[in-house]
Chains A and B, each alone.
Chain A
């Protein structure tokens, strides 16, 4: 079945450090891939998405490239800020006429220290 695996946290970084959060997926068909972020006390927010192979999603300095050959969608940011501290979820939406339900990874807690 479809699934998402992402690196376990917590990830602790100093401000301005480079961030990578790994995400790999298993899916039939041609899924869309998403990164959602959950700030403390808030709901899930879409961070970025990619709908086909080699697409790059980007937002707020974050980037992720849809790699079909490695079934990966790793999240990167060149210089993190304290305000980026949150839980990050990788997710996929399966294609082929399915209900478009999202399948999430377990989340990665990012803590950025000043």
Chain B
């Protein structure tokens, strides 16, 4: 069990550019979550996958954001036409998918800075 991994760990981009982040969940975890954490705040839910199906998206996830989880394994989060307000830590978490209110295991996060 190698834990949840995320790539890259840091990303600096210019406003208007597109960025893509990757998350590899713990092996055999069916559920995958994306959260966003801004400085001094707790993480906020963005979206949730059960296997390959995206079952919920937060209002925070504007049309510029898209997430995928092909084949129910790794997931990608893409932000198009980045804005300075997108600067944040993007966290991925996974859980086994065997019950409700399970413990979620978090990756180290991708820190995005939009200049």
Contacts and interface: CB of A to CB of B under 8 A. Distances in A.
A99 B100 CA distance: 8
B56 A99 contact: yes
B21 interface: no
A66 B104 CA distance: 19
A102 to B, nearest CB: 6
Contacts of B35: 102
A102 B45 contact: yes
Given A34-B103, A43-B108, A95-B100, A104 B91 contact: no
B23 to A, nearest CB: 12
Interface residues of A, number: 27
- Range class of the B interface residue count: 20 to 34
A104 B42 contact: yes
Contacts of A97: 100
Nearest to B101: A32
Contact of B40 (A36, A45, A106): A106
B61 to A, nearest CB: 12
B42 A31 contact: no
Interface of A: 4, 31-32, 34, 36, 42-46, 49, 51, 89, 91, 93-95, 97, 99-107
Given A34-B103, A43-B106, A94-B101, 20 more contacts: A31-B101, A36-B106, A44-B91, A44-B93, A45-B106, A46-B104, A46-B105, A89-B42, A89-B43, A93-B101, A93-B102, A97-B100, A99-B56, A100-B31, A100-B104, A102-B93, A103-B45, A104-B42, A107-B41, A107-B42
